[in-house]
């Protein structure tokens, strides 16, 4: 099986890439001046003498007195053990790894819902529009795509809050929620500890796992607006992409062959055009997923959601920049991007037999 | 050559399989209307190889794509004319398909009639691949890159032969000793391995037992005891009885029989439309509607099964289709058809791809094959092999071929009759011998002289004769005879009137004022 070797090869390539990424974040950390790096280890009220002692302690604690290769070795060792350092912010204080563990599931939940929803909408709609280039439905699709594409996401989010929360009033203070994490803080259930649900940290999934339909419903309702806005913003590009692929494929010679064989028009579209047209979209969908997992900072801010984007933002917006936080999240996003790329490539190779390198 | 002549004169008595009459195809581009074909007429008889030759851009490919009704629309459209395939005019409802409003050369409004187009497409999908097939210039582009070769051939087989396959599968359940006796008797009377293989193939195909093909052939090779072979075959079929859901097969058969009925009713409706019998037409239209509704309602579940889980439910059909695909692949001389059937197009060489294309075109034994420069993209040795295959198929199956090429050597090798095209017109049409011995039209003469010939090379050490000038721009074609600006013998009349294609001697038609005064009336 050729595909298996392809996957193994890709996994092996992942190792040097990962090493390079870790080296890069290490260089990033060491490029920061030492006083800035250790500033969070020194109390501001201390006397200069105490400060000198604390500085020396911090330097030896962080291993900054060791030669660079040794430091890198320690860094590598820490990463292997899941130790990305500590961050101190008003949003979250604790180990960086713990922060990712806590805030990623929420973003993951949003991203998966968004990607699934946009695929479900984009493929049939894109096929429909792409099969009728220059028709009225194509024109409507184009106007919709360009219009949404031109709107900043945060503005779209605000607009949706205003329209649904205020003007129509389905969501909002008297109706359904327009923001927040999805359950009233007064609710006491054993599987929610410190505002974090167990075991997956995804509220909707956990509520369903525990059979608590009221909370599941609440979580679902809370997801509608953010997921809707994200889907809309993704849909605009995806739709154009699928449409272009359909038009492009429909002009290929092998479509003429299919017609010459006597394949009915509907089947030509379904069996020959669509599959080939959707191939490039796999890449786009994968990259969109990676982008979403990176935390949609603005959306999370507008809807007051506590996800990866907020965590990332917190590392650089506090009183002191949390360098370990920055390095940790950068490393994490790098890994996410690498893995998504790998998955996309494998899926692509699986779908397109010509790709085996 | 003499046999070819005889062959062809015999053909004259039969009815032509493809008739093209006054075909006009145009392309509406932003620069103006390209008059690609201007009243092209010719006939192709069953079993003959008809060649179309001419410079590039003279309308050869447009002619062939028009016959298949595969002109890319937009920008192209068949404007008028008649194309009869097996005595059925595929362009009969041309007028109702679209209304074309030509305001100026660059401003053309086309209003398509959706309903008429849908019916037209349905009819065409029955004709294409079934009555007439086509192979293309570049096999690499013409095969679907994401589908296995076998899958693509099977698609064609399953589209057109599902009834015969289902009948075979039904027949296997009622197989009797008499059938087996006949099979064994046929087999024993034959010594030639290839022919024996063919008998086995036919038997397997007739009784819908593709999965036993190998077992049966090895059984026959290793045993001489006829009664043993017979009981073994019956045992095999009995053992695998539970794999076949006969009720489902019958349902599929009924569904496709009704679809065929619907098709013939539609044809009757068109017939009535053409003759102008309004009452009959309305009656047929109602019948078509009622039958369609009946099919939609009755076979809803079957249609859902075929729509969403075709591969699962159609397994018995697919087995037979796969066997036929392998048979077709070996028919076009592909080595190792069992491996090729599971390959993707990019894993094959150009020659193999073109063979696979031919196999695909042969899937439902069409009487006519259109070969649109099938060898242009291939290297010389492969070219010869492909030509040989096409020639063999023509002689073995009696399949007619419309062969399009710009290579006169290929024409000499392959064709019975030749049509010479220039700038969207058929300027000369005659037998292959005539065209090389006695070309009449100045363009044909020029074409002949521009071919390098070994015997003439020493004689005069001057350059090849070429036809002066280039192919005209077909947006603004020359008036009258389209060749007159490049013609040595151009007269006054040539730029004023368009010559008509007339028979100047038996089986030799020329459109030139040098030979006849007749002109086309506009």
Mean pLDDT, contiguous 10-residue spans, chain B (522 residues): 48 78 88 87 90 86 90 85 86 79 79 84 88 88 90 90 84 75 75 76 75 74 74 76 79 88 86 81 86 88 85 84 88 87 89 89 87 84 87 86 88 89 88 87 84 59 65 82 83 84 86 80 62
Which of B142, B344, B359, B368 would best serve as a mutation to test chain A binding (most A beta carbons within 10 A)?
B142
Q: Which of A134, A261, A353 to mutate to test the interface with B (most CBs of B within 10 A)?
A: A261
**pLDDT tens-digit profile, chain A (357 residues):** 577 888 888 889 989 999 999 998 888 888 888 887 787 777 778 788 888 888 888 888 888 888 889 989 988 898 888 888 888 888 888 888 888 888 888 888 888 899 999 999 999 999 899 888 888 899 999 999 999 888 888 888 888 888 877 776 666 544 455 556 555 555 677 777 777 777 777 878 888 888 888 788 878 888 888 888 889 988 888 998 999 999 999 888 899 999 998 888 888 988 899 888 888 888 888 888 888 877 677 888 888 888 888 888 888 887 777 888 888 888 888 888 888 888 888 888 888 888 765
Q: Do A261 and B121 touch (CB under 8 A)?
A: no
Q: How many CA atoms lie within 13 A of B346 on its CB side?
A: 9
Interface test with A, best of B74, B147, B153, B314 (most A CBs within 10 A): B147
Question: Measured between alpha carbons, how far is A85 from B63 in angstroms, rounded to an integer?
Answer: 74
Exposed/middle/buried for residue B136 (C-beta within 10 Å: 0-12, 13-18, 19+): buried
**Helix or strand holding residue B314 (H, E):** none
DSSP H or E segment with residue B233: helix B226-239
Interface test with B, best of A137, A249, A251, A260 (most B CBs within 10 A): A260
State how far the Cα of A129 lies from the Cα of A327, in Å rounded to an integer: 44
Are A306 and A181 in contact by the 8 Å Cβ rule? The answer is yes
Residue from B125, B130, B136, B262 to probe the interface with A (highest A Cβ count within 10 Å): B125
Cβ count near B449 (within 10 Å): 14
pLDDT the model gives residue B152: 92
Question: Do the interacting molecules here have an ipTM over 0.95?
Answer: no
Strand B18-29 with B32-44, pairing: antiparallel
Task: Measure in Å the smallest separation between the Cα of B65 and chain A Cα atoms.
Answer: 9
Give strand pairing partners of B20: B42, B83
Please check whether residue A201 is in contact with residue A105, taking contact to mean a CB–CB distance below 8 angstroms.
yes
Q: Is B363 on the interface with A (CB under 8 A)?
A: yes
Q: Per DSSP, what are the bridge partners of residue B509?
A: B429, B503
CB–CB of B360 and A261 under 8 A? yes
Instruction: Give the span between the Cα atoms of B219 and B208, in whole angstroms.
Output: 18
Q: Which residues of B touch A256 (CB under 8 A)?
A: 65, 70, 136, 142
Give me the residue from B127, B138, B155 closest to A263, CB to CB: B155
| Nearest residue in A to B359, CA atom | A261
B202-206 LR contacts (CB < 8 Å, sep 24+): B204/B323, B205/B168, B205/B320, B205/B323, B205/B324, B206/B168, B206/B171
Report which secondary-structure segment, H or E, holds B111.
Answer: strand B107-112
Distance from CA of A243 to the nearest CA of B (A): 17
- pLDDT on residue A116: 92
Across the interface, do A353 and B125 touch by the CB < 8 Å criterion?
Answer: no
Instruction: Please list every residue in chain B whose beta carbon sits closer than 8 Å to the beta carbon of residue A259.
Output: 68, 70, 125, 128
Q: Which of B122, B141, B361 sits opposite A254 (nearest CB)?
A: B141
Give CA–CA dist A42/B183, Å, rounded.
98
Q: How far is B153 from chain A (nearest CA, A)?
A: 9
pLDDT of residue B1: 38
Chain A residues touching residue B112 (CB < 8 angstroms): none
B471: phi then psi, degrees, rounded to nearest 5: -60, 135
Report pLDDT for A174: 47
Nearest by CB to B145, from A256, A263, A354: name it.
Answer: A354
Is residue B452 less than 8 Å (CB to CB) from chain A? Answer: no
Distance from the A272 Cα atom to the nearest Cα atom in chain B, whole angstroms: 7
B157 touches chain A (CB under 8 A): no
DSSP-derived secondary structure letter, A170: S
Q: What is the spatial distance between Cα B8 and Cα A216, in angstroms, rounded to a whole number? A: 81
For B156, the closest chain A residue by CA position comes to: A261
Cβ of B159 within 8 Å of Cβ of A275? The answer is no
- B chain contacts of residue A272, beta-carbon cutoff 8 Å: 144, 147
Q: What is the pLDDT of residue A305?
A: 80
Instruction: For residue B70, give the nearest of A251, A259, A352 by CB distance.
Output: A259
Closest in B122, B129, B344 to A261, CB measured: B129
Q: Give B407 to chain A, closest Cα distance, Å.
A: 23
Contact (Cβ atoms closer than 8 angstroms) between residue B30 and residue B106: yes
Report the pLDDT value the prediction gives residue B2, as an integer from 0 to 100. Answer: 41
- Contact status of B134 with chain A (Cβ, < 8 Å): yes
pLDDT single digits (tens) B122-164: 888 888 888 899 998 888 899 999 899 999 999 999 888 888 8
Which residues, at least 6 apart from B308, have a Cβ–Cβ distance to it below 8 Å?
none
The H or E element spanning position A91 is none
CB contact under 8 A, A265 and B144: no
A348 touches A282 (CB < 8 A): yes
Please name the member of A251, A260, A265 whose beta carbon is closest to the beta carbon of B134: A260
Say yes or no for a CB contact (<8 Å) between B133 and A260: yes
Please classify residue B161 by burial: count the beta carbons closer than 10 Å to its beta carbon, then call 0-12 exposed, 13-18 middle and 19+ buried: buried
Mutation target for A interface from B144, B153, B344, B363: give the one with most A CBs within 10 A.
B144
CB-CB neighbours of B127 under 10 Å = 17
Contact residues, chain A, for B130 at CB < 8 Å: 262
Phi, psi (degrees; rounded to nearest 5) at A224: -55, -55
Residue B304, exposed/middle/buried by CB under 10 A (0-12, 13-18, 19+)? exposed
Secondary structure element (H or E) that encloses residue A148, with its range:
helix A136-150
CA A10 to chain B, closest CA, distance in angstroms equals: 22
From A263, A276, A353, residue closest to B125, measured CB to CB: A263
Pairing of strands B368-372, B400-405: parallel
- What Rg do the C-alpha atoms of chain B give, in angstroms? 26
CA proximity to B353, closest of B329, B373, B336: B329
* A272 to B144: CB separation less than 8 angstroms, yes or no: yes
Asked if the C-beta of B506 comes within 8 angstroms of chain A's C-beta atoms, the answer is no
C-alpha B361/C-alpha A305 separation (Å) is 60
Q: How far is B225 from chain A (nearest CA, A)?
A: 43
Contacts of A354 in chain B (CB under 8 A): 145-146, 344, 346
Contacts of B159 in chain A (CB under 8 A): 261-263
A257–B133 C-beta distance less than 8 A: no
Contact B153, B360 (CB under 8 A): yes
> Are B179 and B206 contacting, i.e. CB atoms less than 8 angstroms apart?
no
CA A206 to chain centre: 20
Q: Distance from CA of residue B68 to its chain's centroid? A: 8
Taking contacts as CB-CB distances below 8 angstroms, the residues of chain B near A270 are none
């Amino acid at each position: 099986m050729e595909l298996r070797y392809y996957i193994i090869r890709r996994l092996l390539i992942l190792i040097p890439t990962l090493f390079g990424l870790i080296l890069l974040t290490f260089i990033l950390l060491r490029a920061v001046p030492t006083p800035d790096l250790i500033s969070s280890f020194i109390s501001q009220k201390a006397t200069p003498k105490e400060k000198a002692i604390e500085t020396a302690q911090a330097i030896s604690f962080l291993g900054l007195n060791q030669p660079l290769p040794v430091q890198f070795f320690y860094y590598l060792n820490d990463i292997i053990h899941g130790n990305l350092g500590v961050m101190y912010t008003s949003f979250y204080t604790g180990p960086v790894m713990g922060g990712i563990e806590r805030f990623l599931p929420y973003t993951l939940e949003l991203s998966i819902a968004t990607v699934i929803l946009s695929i479900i909408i984009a493929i049939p709609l894109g096929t429909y529009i792409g099969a009728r280039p220059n028709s009225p439905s194509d024109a409507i699709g184009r106007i919709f795509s360009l219009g949404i594409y031109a709107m900043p996401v945060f503005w779209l989010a605000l607009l949706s809050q205003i329209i649904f929360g205020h003007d129509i009033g389905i969501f909002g203070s008297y109706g359904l929620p327009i923001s927040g994490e999805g359950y009233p803080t007064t609710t006491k259930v054993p599987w929610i500890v410190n505002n974090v649900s167990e075991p997956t940290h995804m509220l909707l999934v956990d509520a369903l796992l525990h059979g608590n339909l009221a909370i599941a419903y609440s979580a679902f309702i809370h997801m509608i607006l953010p997921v809707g806005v994200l889907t809309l913003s993704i849909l605009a590009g995806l739709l154009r992409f699928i449409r272009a692929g359909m038009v492009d494929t429909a002009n290929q010679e092998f479509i003429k062959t299919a017609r010459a064989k006597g394949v009915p028009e509907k089947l030509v579209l379904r069996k020959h055009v669509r599959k080939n047209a959707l191939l490039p979209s796999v890449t786009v969908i994968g990259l969109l997923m990676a982008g979403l997992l990176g935390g949609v900072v603005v959306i999370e801010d507008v809807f007051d959601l506590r996800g990866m984007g907020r965590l990332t933002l917190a590392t650089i917006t506090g009183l002191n920049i949390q360098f370990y936080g920055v390095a940790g999240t950068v490393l994490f996003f790098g890994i996410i991007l690498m893995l998504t790329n790998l998955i996309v490539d494998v899926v692509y190779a699986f779908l397109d037999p010509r790709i085996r390198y | 050559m003499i046999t070819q002549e005889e062959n062809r004169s015999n053909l004259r008595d039969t009815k032509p399989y493809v008739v093209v009459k006054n075909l006009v195809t145009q392309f509406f581009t932003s620069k103006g209307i390209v008059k690609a074909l201007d009243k092209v007429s010719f006939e192709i008889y069953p079993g003959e190889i008809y060649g179309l030759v001419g410079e590039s851009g003279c309308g050869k490919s447009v002619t062939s794509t028009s016959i298949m009704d595969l002109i890319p629309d937009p920008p192209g459209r068949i404007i008028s004319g008649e194309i009869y395939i097996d005595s059925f005019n595929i362009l009969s409802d041309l007028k109702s398909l679209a209304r074309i409003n030509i305001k100026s050369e660059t401003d053309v409004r086309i209003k398509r009639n959706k309903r008429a187009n849908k019916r037209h497409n349905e009819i065409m999908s029955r004709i294409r691949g079934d009555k007439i097939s086509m192979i293309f210039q570049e096999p690499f582009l013409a095969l679907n890159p994401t589908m296995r070769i076998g899958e693509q051939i099977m698609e064609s087989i399953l589209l057109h032969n599902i009834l015969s396959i289902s009948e075979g599968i039904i027949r296997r359940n009622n197989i009797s000793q008499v059938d087996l006796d006949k099979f064994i008797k046929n087999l024993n009377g034959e010594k030639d391995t290839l022919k024996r293989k063919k008998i086995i193939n036919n038997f397997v195909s007739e009784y819908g037992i593709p999965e036993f093909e190998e077992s049966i052939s090895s059984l026959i090779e290793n045993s001489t005891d006829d009664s043993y072979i017979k009981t073994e075959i019956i045992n095999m079929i009995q053992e695998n009885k539970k794999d076949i859901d006969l009720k489902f097969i019958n349902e599929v058969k009924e569904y496709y029989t009704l679809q065929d009925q619907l098709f013939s009713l539609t044809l009757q409706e068109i017939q009535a439309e053409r003759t102008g019998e309004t009452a009959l037409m309305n009656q047929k239209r109602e019948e078509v509607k009622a039958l369609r509704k009946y099919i939609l309602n009755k076979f809803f579940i079957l249609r859902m099964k075929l729509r969403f889980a075709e591969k699962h439910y159609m397994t018995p059909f697919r087995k037979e289709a796969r066997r036929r695909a392998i048979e077709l692949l070996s028919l076009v001389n592909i080595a190792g058809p069992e491996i090729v059937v599971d390959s993707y197009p990019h894993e094959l060489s150009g020659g193999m791809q073109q063979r696979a294309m031919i196999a695909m075109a042969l899937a439902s034994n069409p009487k006519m094959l259109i070969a649109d420069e099938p060898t242009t993209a291939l290297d010389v040795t492969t070219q010869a092999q492909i030509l040989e295959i096409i020639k063999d198929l023509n002689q073995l199956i009696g399949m007619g071929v419309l062969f399009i090429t710009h290579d006169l050597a290929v024409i000499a090798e392959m064709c019975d009759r030749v049509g010479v095209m220039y700038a969207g017109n058929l300027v000369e049409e005659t037998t292959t011998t005539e065209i090389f011995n006695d070309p009449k039209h100045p363009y044909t003469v020029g074409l002949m002289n521009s071919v390098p010939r070994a015997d003439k090379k020493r004689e005069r050490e001057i350059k090849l004769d070429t036809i002066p000038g280039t192919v005209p721009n077909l947006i603004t074609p020359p008036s009258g005879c389209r060749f007159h600006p490049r013609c040595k013998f151009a007269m006054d009349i040539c730029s004023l009137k368009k010559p008509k294609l007339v028979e100047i001697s038996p089986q030799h038609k020329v459109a030139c004022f040098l030979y006849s005064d007749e002109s086309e009336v506009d």
